[in-house]
Structure 1
Amino acid sequence: MKLVMSQLDSPLGAMLLVTDAQQAVRALDFADHKARLHRGLREHYGETELVEAPAPAEVADALARYFDGEWEVLNALCTATAGSELQRRVWAALRRIPANTTTTYGKLARELGFDDPRAAIAIGAANGANPIAIIVPCHRVIASNGDLKGYAWGVHRKRWLLEHEKAIATREQESVPQTAMLPGF
């Protein structure tokens, strides 16, 4: 399979974009996780020929606009992923999570029709195997207690993305004491 690899800049560091001949996104990873990207391509597609070229304008523009605050613009991008049936179902469900919201592993499992609470573990594993950062927004899935559990590209990036989308309060907002309003004032 012949795929195109492009490098893009982002506020979170250089990113590696992999697209196919139809310009569908096959992978989006951070450059400091290049080994993960290549391992995933081998696992999903076997032998691939990677050709370096500029990113498709539509994808580069959408990512730039996302980082400028137009979160929904990524919804129009075409993705194509290989993976198990469960992984593909989870990744499709992730794309339905609206920007500036979060869900939990358990809620995602129930949405996919799993009643067993242990299914959240399998959902978490599929979430963690997501090959397309940001566009397939696995960063929007958090623990039921609100913790920002693992993120393949680093919890610091997950926090940044969720703060950027205004899905969670920024650390500065969390540290500002809330003052009570007194009656009559």
Structure 2
Amino acid sequence: MDMFLSHLDSPLGAMLLVTDANDAVRALDFADHRTRLQRVLRQHYGEVELTENQAPTEIADALSRYFNGEWEALNSLRTETAGSELQRRVWTALRRIPVGQTTTYGKIARALGFDDPRAAIDVGAANGSNPIAIIVPCHRVIASNGDLKGYTWGLHRKRWLLGHEKGIAIKEEPQTAMLPGF
């Protein structure tokens, strides 16, 4: 599968954008996690040929507007991801979390129809394997006790993103919200 690799700057460091021929976002990662990006692409797509390319204007502009405070700028971006059915369902649910709000792994599991309390662990694993940083806002998911917990790209970035979105004042116990539409 042919895909395109673009380099973008952000307040959180250099980013790597992977798009397909239709300008759908396949992955968005931080440059200091390049090895993870390559592993995820192989896992989901097999052998991938990445061709260096200029970032599609629509995507670069939307990310720039997001970092400048236009929260809704990312909503119209198209994403295409491979992964298990559960992963894709979780990643879709993540895009429904409003800017400025957080939710928990358990709330997502219940919203997806899982009654087993252990389903939150599976949701957490799917959340952690999200290949598209920021656009698929896995940073808005926290533990049920209010802890930020892990973030693939580093807790310092998760804190920054949540603070940037003015979703929560980073404290020990942030407020959580239900996912809209569930």
Band of TM-score, shorter chain: over 0.9
Please state how far the C-alpha of 1:71 moved relative to its aligned partner.
1.1
Aligned to 2:68: 68
* Aligned pairs for 1:105-124 within 5 A: 105-124=105-124
Is 1:77–2:81 an aligned residue pair? no
In the other structure, the counterpart of 2:49 is 49
Q: Distance in 1 between matches of 2:116 and 2:72?
A: 32
Partners of 1:72 and 1:138 lie apart in 2 by 16
In structure 2, distance between residues paired with 1:71 and 1:125:
26
Question: What residue number does 2:15 align with?
Answer: 15
Which residue identity is paired with 1:95?
A: R
Q: Distance in 2 between matches of 1:108 and 1:74?
A: 21
Aligned position for 1:182 = none
Residues of 1 paired with 2:53 and 2:125: CA distance?
32
For 1:78, the aligned partner's letter is R
**Counterpart amino acid of residue 47 in structure 1:** E
| Residue 139 (structure 2) pairs with residue 143 (structure 1) | no
Counterpart secondary structure, 1:50 = strand
Which residue of structure 1 lines up, in the alignment, with residue 174 of structure 2? none
Deviation of the 1:167 alpha carbon: 1.1
Give the percent of matched residue pairs that are identical in Structure 1 and Structure 2.
77
Q: Tell me if 1:154 matches 2:132.
A: no
- Alignment length (residue pairs): 172
- TM-fit CA distance, 1:72: 1.1
Rg: which structure is higher?
Answer: 1
TM-score (norm 2): 0.93
In the TM superposition, structure 1's runs of 4+ consecutive aligned residues that sit over 4 Å from their partners are none
Q: What is aligned with 2:90?
A: 90
Task: Please list every run of 5 or more consecutive structure 2 residues that lacks an aligned counterpart in the other structure.
Answer: 172-182
Summarize deviations over 1:87-109 as a string: whole Å, max 9, x none: 00000000011100000010010
C-alpha displacement of 1:168: 1.3
